[in-house]
Chain A
Amino acid sequence: MKKKLLTVTAVTAALLASSQAAWAATGDQVVIGAQTDIVTLDPGRCYEPYANLFLRACYDTLYEFRNDADGAQPMLATGCEFSEDGLTATITIRDDAVFASGNPVTAEDVKFSIMRCKNLKDNPSFICDVIDSIDVVDDHTVQFNLNTPDSSFTSKLAYCSMSIIDSTLAKEQGATDAEDAATTDTAKEFFDAGASLGSGPYQITSYLPDEEFVLEQNENYYGEASSIPKYIIQEMDDANTQMMSLTQDDIQIALNLSEDTVSELEGTDGVDVLSFPTMTMGFVFMNMDESLGGPVSDPKVQQAIRLAIDYAGIQQIVGDGSLTPLSYVQVGLLGALDARDPSYTDVEKAKELLAEAGYPDGFEIDFPCCTLAPEGIPLTDLAVKLADDLSKIGITLNIQTVDWTGGYAEDYRDGKLGFSVMYWSPDYQDPNAELEFLPGGIVGLRSGWAAEMDQELADMKGQIVSELDQDARVEKLKEMQEKTAEYGPFIPIVQYPKYMGVTSQLTGVEFSDSYRMDVRTIEWAE
């Protein structure tokens, strides 16, 4: 019996050992472990942040972000000229770009792709709201007719859903850019089967939903080929699994590490741990409508709360690499001011302000908090910390946990919440996306901050949006941030960090809010 047991054990061990080589060897390809949120491969419908991973690899856009702080830079475009009134933008397109099919990238493709995104009326279509129509001037020139001047226009053109697709092939698969595309376009199934019709350096060659993507080099790519012939993006929802797979070299990049797994990786040979601030921002909001906000609608109370919050403590909860934006423009975006100094906290001054506002003993107030967890940190954790901080100035928070889909979203959208904590991530990488926090903006109204309550500040939104001179726009953005750093119903409390792990043999791996990670900058180290 013992002999048999030993034999079985030995055979099993030998089989496992023999197969070990098979699961270790992956060649020059790079495997990325990621918890993605991708639900479609149709560029005109993609809105989920991780869709940028494959869109950036397989498609070109007119503009791109090489660095979020530098603003959008030309990619397929060679230049953009605005008319004097800012209502038309003429863009010239490079003439050497070709799709993976070998078809040249033309102005017709640009018009088709962008008008299709607009007319599909899907999640990302709002990005095209500013575009009325597009005229093809010649094979390599298009004219965008806008309904309002828009200083973030080129940033919007860098958005992943504005990917330029091979219109000849797309039309064969039922794609259309007609006004009724929302009901007549039938190309989604074709894309979702694993097709990519772009001019980027890679092509999707295999797609298993919720399992993996395989991207292989586009042989017709007109640019310089990367040293990485193949990417596999493997769905890995668990941070521990990503960490273990990275150390075993089963994956070369772990995109969603947690703070715990980062500490486990520290000191591991051949693995680098990277930390980057994201554009995801947590903020406290206080309703300006007294019937909803009660005492927190008073500007003096708002400032007292701003002073009472322990920003350094919040950064500790959220993790290394986090910071506190001074105002609504996250650090790293064009025109952002430096982060708030965490030592800004001044409990004594906060108490004085509270007394001036008529609350020398503080007050008790409901604090609904939703169950969302941006970048893996539950908002309820921040609520508990805020309750602790505000108790030091006599404010008692009654935290009420509400599910996002169980009523919180509706109340938040309708501006019915008095005092709460939420998060915001810009839809496109441009400070203009943050202007929604101003009076009369989408987020502003959720806090009862109507335009007429501060017309001067509300007007700044229009001025910044229509300011086509970049330097002048940056100046206005700075002015807006200085005005709102200690004023208004919003208190940005933290900018979340992002942790990634990467094998030391790779270079150029960086987190990017625009693309999650820009696969075009990654190379094998020489």
Chain B
Amino acid sequence: MDTLKFIVKRIIYLLILLLGVATIVFILTRLVPTDPVAANLSQRNLSDPEIVAAFRQKWGLDKPIWEQFIIYLKGLLRLDFGTSIRTSKPVLDELKRCFPATFELSLFAIIIATVFGILFGIISALKRNSWLDQLVRAISVAGVSVPTFWLALLLLYFFYYKLGIAPGTGRISKSFDAPAAVTGLYVIDSLLEGDPAKAWDCLSHLILPGCVLAAFTMGLITRTARSNLLEVISTDYIRTARAKGMANIRLILHHALGNALIPVLTVVGLGFGNLLGGTVLVETIFSWPGVGQFAYESVTKLDSPGIIGVAILIALNYGIINTIVDILYGVIDPRVRSGV
């Protein structure tokens, strides 16, 4: 019952947050001294006042800002995110089209980041100040510091171009047809089609972009896991368990890790939310048709419904993930659930 109350409360907060995000982004897109007319009409049509006026009228840009905002809010209440100026299609349809690609990639990246981040964190904490610890720390610092676009090009250059052991860009090889959209996640949809070869091909296309995206979050998780494990390891109950002769691995997995995981979970949640917002550079380099590409195109064409749609999607992602993370806190540590 408490959990239900908690979720209802979170949904109300989320709705207020989304309204706030929509308002702020709407105002910002109108305040920036740029003109969507120039971004969307040809040089020739720019000189035709009739065409310019028709464009402004079509997209409601001829109305006062407050009126534009009320129209937008009314639409939003009906879950109508408006129509993209760039593609003339409903923004909601556009987001539905590109979100699964980003979700699949982000999910893959966050799984890699979490698994390896925690693993490296454990190794680093167990072998504190050893050469292994130094190596893991160096990897995590590199993961956080290396520019994403550079790492993307580097991995593509070596593993695809030079060694030829990884697939190149896109979500699927040209020797396969895209799977029929059920979930929009190619790996799962291929399996639903009963084609494991296609599923493996789609999975292999996730490896390079997934690793690039995972690098940053993995670095953060490693560092967080290490420092929290070290803190937990130095507590009395762990010292006692160790004095009783409990094996190190068992000690970490059964007693220390659970307590050290809560901050890690926060980092995982934030990292996943960040990835779901779409990463323009990685999506561009790997020709990945996701939210990042849509956001970039929307910004270059000053497509305000598209920009606001992406902003709401990002806020929604964070809201949902944070709610899930809060629930998971209680699962990992019963003291959180009971409010101790």
Contact = CB atoms under 8 A, between A and B. Distances in A.
Interface stretch (A240-248, A303-311, A345-353): A240-248
Contact of A188 (B33, B88, B175): B88
A122 B38 CA distance: 15
B200 A23 contact: no
Interface stretch (B12-20, B40-48, B114-122, B124-132): B40-48
B164 A20 contact: yes
Contacts of B42: 47, 123, 427
Contacts of A192: 89
A403 B33 CA distance: 10
A424 interface: yes
Given A22-B201, A123-B42, A235-B287, A31 B174 contact: yes
Interface string B205-247: 0000000000000000000000000000000000000000000
B41 A123 contact: yes
A235 B171 CA distance: 11
A208 B101 CA distance: 12
B68 interface: no
Contact of A126 (B45, B87, B167, B294): B45
Contact of B39 (A24, A237, A404): A404
A405 B39 contact: yes
A244 B287 contact: no
A409 interface: yes
Contacts of B177: 206
Contacts of B297: 210
B285 A235 contact: no
Contact of B171 (A211, A248, A446): A211
Interface residues of A, number: 56
Contacts of A238: 284-285, 287
Contact of A13 (B39, B165, B293): B165
B169 A241 contact: yes
B284 A237 contact: yes
A209 B38 CA distance: 24
B201 to A, nearest CB: 5
Contacts of A210: 98, 289, 293-294, 297
Contact of A248 (B41, B43, B164): B164
Nearest to B172: A23
Contact of A244 (B36, B98, B157, B174): B157
Interface in B127-167: 153, 156-157, 160-161, 164-167
Contacts of B161: 244, 247-248
Interface of A: 13, 15-17, 19-20, 22-27, 29, 31, 39-40, 47, 121, 123, 126, 188, 192, 206, 208-212, 232, 234-238, 240-241, 244-245, 247-248, 250, 403-410, 413, 424, 427, 436, 442, 445-446
10 contacts: A20-B165, A22-B197, A39-B88, A209-B97, A238-B284, A240-B156, A244-B157, A407-B33, A413-B46, A436-B44
